Every structure is written in C-alpha cells, then in structure tokens.
Structure 1
Amino acid sequence: MFHVRFMPSSRGQSEGLRPTFIALIATLGLTLATPIFAADLPRIASINLCTDQLLMTLADPEQILGLSPYSRDKTRSWDAARAAQFPRLSGEAEDVLMLKPDIVVAGRYTKRATRELLKDKRLNVTEFDVPRSMEDVRKQILRMGDVVKHPDRAVAEIAKLDAAIARARAVAAKKAYRVLALSRRGWVSGSDSLTGALLAAVGLNSAAKDLGLRGGGFASLEVIVAARPDFLLLSEGDNFAEDEGRAFLLHPALQGFYPPSKRLVIPERLMNCGGPMLAEALDRLAAELERVER
C-alpha cells in the first residue's frame, strides 16, 4: 500500500506525480492495462463441436449466442452440462443469421453450404482446422483467445495443458510402451493424428506407424493381434455391444490378448477435439497407465 505522502493534495500535484507513478509501476514490473468492457466484446455463435468447447472455455457467457447441435451430447461434448445454458443451434445458416453475431466460429469441415451462405451474407466466419499436433492445439487455443478478446485466458489454458503433459510424461517414462488407438469397426487412429500426437507428447509410441497407418485407417482383427502393441487405447471400457461396430472391440480374440489390464480407456469426449479437454485426457492417461502397471 502506498504511503500517504505519495497522495496528491491538489490537481497540480497529481499531474506532477503522474510520470513518477508510471515509472514506479514499470519498475515493479506491472502494466497499466486498458479494461475491456462488455460492449467492446464480440458476440459469437459456434456451429462446430470443437469450437463450442474452445468458446465456452475462453469467452464470457454473455458473448455466446449459440452452440452447435452436438454441444449437449454427453458422449461427444466435454462440457455438455455447461452447454445446456446456451441456445442449441440447428447447424443450418438460418438460425445463425437471426442472431446477427459479430463472429461465427466453425470447423474447416463444418457443412460447407452453411459456411458459404454465412459468408455470402457478409458474416465474419472464422474457421478452425483439425489439429494434428500439440503445437496445432496451442495455436488454436491462442487463436480463439484472440477471437473472444481474452488472450490471457488462452495463455492460462496452455499452461494447464503443458503441466498435464509433464505429469503424464513422468508416468509414461517408466517404459516406452507401444499403444494402438482403436475404435469401432477396427478404426485405428494414425500416428500423425491428434491421438498420435498426444501419445508422442508423453513419450509413448503409436503402433499405428508399424501398420503403415500414419493418417489412420481400418485394420483387420488379424493385423491388430499380429501387431502386438503393449496396450490398446479405447474410448469405452464396458462389455456391452449395442451394435456390430462396438462388437468388434469385444471379439473373443481381442479380449483374450487384451484383457482390461491391457486396455487404456479415455472417454471420447476428452479426445475428439484439440483444446482444454486434453489436459483432462492426459491426466486420465496417466491414471490408466498407473492402473495397468500395478
């Protein structure tokens, strides 16, 4: 707290002390930031699941006009409960146009006709690509921070992500395991995918590279078993097969070679987008590695 002798007794003294006060602030390493008022912040609509989650993390609630049709899907959306407080959009251009947003955030592969129509109507459509590396993830968080005019929040989220990487790396460093990320019907996430990047960031090896599936692709049951990864990485850990796609993962051969002690389970909602949810995914990965190593 400043001593009373620094307080001016008149306007003239105040003006005279202003340069000294600014110099003191600079010496202390502080900044005189210009506050951003609510009226200066953009009003934003999201038409993509992944931009939904970046937007909810970094924007003020008052900035969010609406979210994508899948925003409340508890399987896909990391923050489905929070998304329920915002309007759910249809995914078409008409309801977005009615909102008159300052900015529309979308994925590069969001329905093209919708994106083009919004652009034709002279709306500011900001598109985010699918991240394929952790550096891509960091850049997208920073970009959304700039879009919503809260760059400090973006920096804080990246710090959380980097801390989670360090925690998971400390656990994974015990052994350079080979992990095969496997989904329904035998889909393998490639070594050059976001999942592959997540594994590499903590020192694990993607077995997809040995199968020649850098970008991802389907693999037969025989190929998967022959690859002999140390662990399978799955999004579900129960034994219920609601359809043939899920039944593939419960095939007796896979269950025989890969019982629960050989399966790492991270829910889909933590892995399907590049953003703040990845910090939770990394902590879950570390916990799963500790479980199977017991």
Structure 2
Amino acid sequence: MSPYKGNRKINIPISIFVVVFAFILLVIPTSGNTEQLITLDKQKLPHKFSIAAPEIRPLVYIDKQGNIAGQFITMFEHFSEQTGIKVDIKVMPWGRAVQQAKSGNSDAIMPALYTNERAAFFAYPSEPLVIFSGSVVLQHRQDTRKIDSWHDIHDSQIVKVRSMNLGENVGRLFVNNRNELVEVVRIVDGLQMLQHKRVDYVVMDALIASSLIEELKLQDEIKVIVHPEESRLSNSYLAFSTSFAAQFDVEKIMALINQYNDPDKYIKQLEIYSH
C-alpha cells in the first residue's frame, strides 16, 4: 500500500521550467516569422541581399559621423521594415563595387546605367531604381571666360567622378584631347578642387549638383552651364549579379522595392545658379 494518502504535491525546481521554456523559444519560430519566410521562399524572394554602392550624394554616402546615409538608405530601411527582407549596403569606390558584384561577393550594385558591356555580367530588371535628369558643367564664378555653350569649353581641365558614365554630350568634351579629363572617386573632392581653382570645370549629374551646391553653400562661388540636350532623362538601375539572378526573381524584387521607392521623385527641374 502506498504511504501517500490523497493528493500529493510534487516540487519541481523552477530552473527546469526556465530551461524548457527557453528551449521552446529557440527552436520554434513564431508563426508570423515562419509564414513570412515561407512566403518569400515561394515567390523566389531572398531573406536578405547585399548591395555595393559608390558614394553619390544625396542618394548614398558616408556622413560626418562615419555612418551610411542618404535617400536610398532611408528607403531601403523602410523596405526592410515592411517586407522583412534584410538589405546590407556598403559604400565603396565604383571600380571595387563593380568587381564585388561581378564576382558575386555583393548581390547587386546601385545605381548603374545600362550598357551592353555591363549587361554581359549584370542582370538588369525592367524597372529602374532612379531616373537621372542629365549632366551639367560647373564653373567658378570668378572665372572670366564667357561660356555660352559646352562647345566653348576647350583647353581646360574637367573633373568627373569615376563612376559616372560619360554619355555622348560629356564625351564630346574630350574628343581629340580637346580637354583634359581628371577623375576623382568622390565628387565632393572635385567640387573642392573647383572651389580652390585647381581645375577649370566639373561635370556631374544635375540632381547631385543641385543638392551639393545647396548643401555646401556654394551658390555664390559656382555657377551651372546646362547643355540643352541634357534635359533628357536617363534610367539607372539596381543591377544584380548573375549568380544572384539565377536563384531569385529580380523582377519581383525590383517591383517590391518600388512599392517603397519612387524613381521619378529624383527628377528635378534643373536649378541653374547662373544669374
């Protein structure tokens, strides 16, 4: 006969409950997260991906505190919050960014204009990431040379950022050694060279020029020379590595990104500081 009568009380150390509960939390994901990951897998969407990007203000750059910042960064943070897809963005020189994406060490590069050469090793979605509004030439206001059009620019040193695609109109500035090309990694360095009159001109995207002239308070020192044909718009893309595109649906990814990004919002009427 059992020595215990009626109900018996069994004392189990509370530490056992803590260990068991912690184990459940670790090995069993929440239903919301599970459903989200399954949905991503079914749609050939990644759980995370990486992007290599050159410094292009105001879109992506390193701020004074050494943190990555810019309009693209803010947009992708919102994208990640809403979709659960993590995006790792690293700023680096254009040449290195290209190599990182070509080799698959980075899953994508931004922003990248479409060229036949790049299409051989990048996968371009049909939707652009950003639409640029053309290039402008910047001149120091103390430069007394009268420039009515780009045709008047010759025998000069012209700075452009290395990641910038020349294009037809910009390219004509350097045909037959008409002008000397000076390339920089960061366009801010080129502007500082112009500000201190170490070069004659800087050629750059109109949106970025407008933003930097305003940010650096250079309105009284630098003026803009516009080419009439440069009002044409240029699509620039989030171009994916071929290895990444083989695994995931880049069209779906880009369409999803553009639910939180408006490529047209970067189009601005050229701010011409010429008066």
TM-score band w.r.t. shorter chain? 0.3 to 0.5
| Greater helix proportion | 1
* TM-score, structure 1 as length reference: 0.33
* TM-score, structure 2 as length reference: 0.34
Instruction: Indicate the structure whose relative CO is greater, using CA pairs within 8 Å and at least 6 residues apart.
Output: 2
| Greater strand proportion | 2
Bigger Rg, structure 1 or 2 = 2
